């Protein structure tokens, strides 16, 4: 797709008009007045501005980078942008104070190379970006001495830390050793020996790319290392681009996708505007927006909800505004206006409410992404149905969730994937990362392989793969094999296979086939969303029911051998750590346990309906070589047969639906 070469290019002074110029200000102000930007507007023009000033004057701790430097940087960015938009003297005062406090720090990050050099992963690159933007946005309100002081901080505290990081990722064999800086009293210890390799494929490479690139562009022709910085930043961006699939899929999940992709774009946009170098097609940007919306899962309570495989929460689609603008992509324009949230300030710069838009069509309803995550839906409204299967390989920020399933319909999560899994293995909520906390299979109560957290939230070795994916009018069928992932912890495992058959919008059949060399029990769990106190689960007589405020799900179970259906729970103690503190919590689930055997076949037939109605009871009857599922639900007659043969994929025959 051709890029609009004129849409963002800018001449002008180095380091000024980086992302917009004075002519853009009325349009940006108008964007911020739109209801779509209410959250961002409240951040930029807060009622508690005096509290921010008080924090900067009296409360900031110059020895604390994890929390206080982060807050100083955020205030600087917000107040600088607010000032250029509204010319409020109070915002200028706060912005200049934040600049002063940021430059009062002795270092900008809390990791070291060789025990001496600071490496910049988030704090240093983000501080660098904020300072470069503040110099642009505050402009002539800064004296020459003030500008020189800020540039000195970029040159000494920001750019070298970013450069050291990217150099170490490019040449990991030359790294003397990355460690935590003991001066930062962090409440955890991480083994960073392999981080130059691990982080090379993660979001923590892109942030220093953007930081170093911003420093290089702002100081181009005025600092002897600017050329070297720019070369490494561009090389690193090109190297990182292959972390996106050719379809735009991103392995770290939709939460980190937004953060990562936005920083890729910020660097590319400023590079083009100021130096005329066009790196705006390093990845499939229209494709990556489609990746994001394939994972959009709005609910009644959270329009920004998402298919949260891995560490993901709400979906931010800030980057869609840029993709629509620069690539002329109508679907991206629609996404920017309607799907997910716009919580980052660049959205106000890039958004064009008048841009021609096109809603995503039925061609995006059933998606097998290049990383083998499968999503099937009926639309993008809260009431629409979404079924998602987590197949595929390992990734940073993953959970032990191979073959786990999510099901959302009528505005509610009904089969849930937990939020808020801890990043540190020593705290209770680490358990939410494990297979036991997912809608997945356990063997003898044990999930598949996962790491112990000593290196952080890095990749495991667990793989699953989609072996069959088919769609038709009103249905989707997918089979995923996770045998390898379970064999890593139990060599007796010979098969772990899950098949989903989704009869849209609200009937889901889940077939699990497990084989082991030695007799073992198998558990199939379906997690309940109850973070808000609105979820409940009951089980009796081979059935279970999950209720939420706006929907109810009833499920029947059939197995090849003896089995029980019950309600279980994971109880987590309070975490009082300063890092990711959390209240005590209880996480309930429906559990099917198949008695000890060497071969297990477990069929779950689920039907959902809006609250106030009763899901139809779909009867499961044994037939030769499989089962028949039949009954009435939501005014329609359903009749489906599943045919099972050893060594072959499950066959599904639709006799009526």
Q: Say how many C-beta atoms besides its own lie within 10 A of residue 189's C-beta.
A: 11
Residue 244 has pLDDT above 60, yes or no: yes
Which CATH architecture group holds 364-611? Answer: Distorted Sandwich (2.70)
- Residue 166 gets which letter from DSSP? H
- The share of the chain scoring above pLDDT 70, in percent, equals 98
DSSP 8-state secondary structure symbol assigned to residue 65: I
Give the pairing type, strands 386-390 and 373-377.
antiparallel
Q: How many angstroms separate the CA atoms of 552 and 544, rounded?
A: 11
Q: What is the pLDDT of residues 612-628, one digit of tens each?
A: 999 998 999 999 999 99
Rg of the Cα trace of the chain?
A: 26
Residue 403: per-residue pLDDT: 99
Segment 517-546 mean pLDDT: 98
pLDDT at 484 over 60: yes
Rounded CA separation 203/252 (Å):
8
Q: What are phi and psi of 120, to 5 degrees?
A: -105, 115
d(CA 140, CA 117): 34
pLDDT, tens digit, 9 for 90 and up, residues 192-228: 999 999 999 999 999 999 999 999 999 999 999 999 9
Phi and psi angles of residue 597, each rounded to the nearest 5 degrees, phi first: -165, 170
Q: List phi, psi (to 5°) of 430.
A: -60, -30
CB contact at 8 A, 76 and 98: yes
- Contact between 538 and 545 (Cβ < 8 Å): yes
Using a 10 angstrom Cβ sphere, with 0-12 exposed, 13-18 middle and 19 or more buried, the burial of residue 120 is: buried
Provide the mean pLDDT of the chain: 96
b/e 303-312 (16+ beta carbons within 10 angstroms → b):
bbbbbbbbbb
Whether omega before 646 lies within 30 degrees of 0, making that bond cis, reads: no
Contact 142, 150 (CB under 8 A): yes
Beta bridge partner(s), residue 251? none
Q: How remote is the C-alpha of 391 from its chain's centroid?
A: 16
Element (H, E) at 168: helix 159-170
Closest among 257, 344, 341, 332 to 289, alpha carbons compared: 332
How far, in Å, CA of 64 to CA of 131, rounded? Answer: 19
528 exposed, middle or buried (CB, 10 Å; 0-12, 13-18, 19+)? buried
* Model pLDDT, residue 657: 72
| Closest C-alpha to 332, from 313, 360, 353, 354 | 360
* Nearest alpha carbon to residue 402 among 345, 459, 341, 319: 459
Element (H, E) at 509: strand 507-527
In this structure, the number of other CB atoms found within 10 A of the CB of residue 599 comes to 16
Confidence of residue 40 (pLDDT cuts 50, 70, 90): very high
- Given strand 373-377, what is the order of strands in its sheet? 366-368, 373-377, 386-390, 404-409, 412-415
Q: What does the pLDDT look like over 301-331, one tens digit per residue? A: 999 999 999 998 899 999 999 999 999 999 9
| pLDDT of the residue at 14 | 58
Average pLDDT of span 172-183? 97
> Do strands 178-180 and 117-119 pair parallel, antiparallel, or not at all (unpaired)?
unpaired
Q: What is the pLDDT of residues 542-558, one digit of tens each?
A: 999 999 999 999 999 99
Model confidence band, residue 55 (pLDDT cutoffs 50, 70, 90): very high
Alpha helices in 45-153 (DSSP H): 49-54, 70-86, 89-103, 123-138, 144-153
Question: In 276-345, where does DSSP find H-type helix?
Answer: 285-294, 318-327, 330-338
Distance separating alpha carbons of residues 56 and 45, to the nearest angstrom: 17
Between vectors from CA 242 to CA 240 and to CA 248, what angle results, nearest 5°?
A: 110
Check residue 13 and give its pLDDT. Answer: 58
CA distance 121 to 116: 16
Under DSSP, the state recorded for 393 is -
Give domain limits for the chain: 34-243, 364-611
pLDDT, tens digit, 9 for 90 and up, residues 132-158: 999 999 999 999 999 999 999 999 999
Checking if the pLDDT of 6 tops 60, the result is no
Write the CA distances from 454 to 84, 140, 192, 513, 529, integer angstroms: 45, 48, 9, 33, 29
Per DSSP, the three-state class of 117 is: strand
Order of strands across the sheet with 636-643? 619-623, 626-633, 636-643, 651-656
**Residues 64-109 pLDDT 10s:** 999 999 999 999 999 999 999 999 999 999 999 999 999 999 999 9
In sequence order, the 6+-apart residues with CB closer than 8 A to the CB of 609 are 410, 506, 551, 552, 615, 616, 633, 634
Residue 340 pLDDT > 80, yes or no? Answer: yes
Inter-residue contact 386 to 407 (CB < 8 Å): yes
Give the percent of the chain with pLDDT over 90: 95
């Amino acid at each position: 797709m051709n890029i609009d070469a004129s849409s963002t290019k800018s001449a002008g002074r180095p380091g000024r008009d980086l992302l917009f110029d004075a002519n853009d200000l009325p349009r940006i102000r108008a964007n911020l007045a739109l209801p779509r930007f209410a959250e961002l507007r409240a951040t930029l023009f807060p009622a508690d501005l005096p509290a921010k000033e008080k924090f900067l004057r009296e409360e900031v701790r110059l020895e604390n980078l994890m929390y206080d430097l982060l807050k100083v940087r955020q205030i600087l960015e917000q107040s600088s942008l607010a000032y250029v938009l509204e010319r409020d003297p109070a915002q200028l005062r706060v912005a200049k104070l934040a600049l002063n406090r940021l430059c009062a720090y002795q270092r900008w990050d809390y990791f070291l190379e060789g025990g001496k050099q600071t490496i910049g992963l988030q704090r240093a690159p983000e501080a660098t970006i904020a300072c470069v933007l503040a110099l642009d946005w505050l402009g002539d309100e800064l004296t020459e001495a003030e500008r020189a002081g800020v540039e000195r901080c970029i040159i000494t505290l920001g750019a070298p830390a970013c450069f050291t990081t990217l150099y170490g990722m490019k040449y990991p064999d030359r790294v003397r050793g990355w460690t935590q800086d003991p001066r930062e009293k962090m409440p955890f210890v991480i083994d960073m020996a392999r981080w130059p390799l691990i982080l090379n494929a993660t979001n923590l490479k892109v942030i220093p790319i953007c930081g170093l690139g911003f420093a290089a562009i702002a100081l181009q022709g005025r600092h002897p290392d600017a050329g070297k910085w720019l070369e490494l930043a561009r090389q690193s961006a090109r190297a990182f681009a292959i972390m996106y699939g050719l379809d735009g899929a991103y392995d770290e999940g939709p939460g980190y996708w937004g953060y990562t992709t936005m920083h890729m774009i910020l660097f590319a946009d400023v590079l083009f505007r100021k130096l005329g170098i066009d790196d705006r097609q390093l990845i499939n940007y229209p494709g990556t927006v489609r990746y994001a919306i394939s994972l959009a899962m709005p609910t009644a309570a959270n329009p920004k909800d998402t298919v949260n495989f891995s560490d993901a929460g709400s979906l931010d689609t800030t980057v869609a505004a840029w993709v629509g603008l620069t690539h002329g992509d109508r679907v991206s324009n629609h996404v920017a206006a309607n799907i997910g949230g716009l919580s980052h300030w660049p959205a106000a710069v890039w958004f064009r409410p008048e841009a021609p838009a096109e809603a995503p069509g039925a061609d995006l309803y059933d998606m097998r992404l290049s990383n083998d995550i499968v999503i099937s839906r009926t639309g993008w409204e809260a009431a629409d149905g979404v079924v998602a299967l987590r197949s595929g390989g390992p990734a940073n920020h993953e959970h032990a969730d191979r073959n786990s399933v999510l099901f959302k319909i009528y505005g509610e999560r009904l089969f849930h994937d937990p939020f808020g899994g801890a990043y540190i293995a020593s705290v209770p909520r680490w358990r939410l990362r494990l297979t036991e906390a997912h809608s997945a299979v356990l063997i003898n109560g044990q999930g598949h392989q996962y790491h112990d957290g000593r290196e952080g939230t890095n990749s495991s070795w667990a793989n699953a793969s989609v072996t069959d994916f088919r769609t038709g009018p009103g249905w989707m069928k997918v089979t995923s094999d996770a045998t390898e992932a379970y064999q890593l912890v139990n060599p007796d495992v010979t098969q772990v296979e899950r098949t989903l058959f989704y009869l849209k919008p609200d009937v889901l059949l889940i077939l699990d086939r497990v084989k082991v060399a030695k007799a073992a029990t198998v558990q199939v769990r379906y997690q309940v969303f109850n973070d808000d106190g609105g979820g409940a689960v009951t089980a009796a007589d081979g059935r279970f029911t999950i209720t939420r405020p706006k929907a109810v799900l009833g499920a029947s179970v059939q197995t090849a051998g003896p089995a029980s259906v019950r309600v279980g729970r994971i109880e987590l103690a309070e975490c009082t750590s300063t890092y990711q503190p959390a209240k005590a919590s209880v996480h309930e689930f429906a559990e099917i346990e198949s008695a000890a055997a060497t071969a297990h076949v477990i069929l779950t037939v689920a039907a959902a309906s809006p609250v106030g109605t009763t899901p139809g009871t779909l009867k499961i009857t044994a037939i030769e070589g499989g089962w028949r599922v039949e009954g009435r639900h939501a005014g329609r007659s359903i009749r489906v047969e599943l045919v099972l043969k050893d060594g072959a994929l499950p066959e599904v025959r639709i006799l009526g639906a």
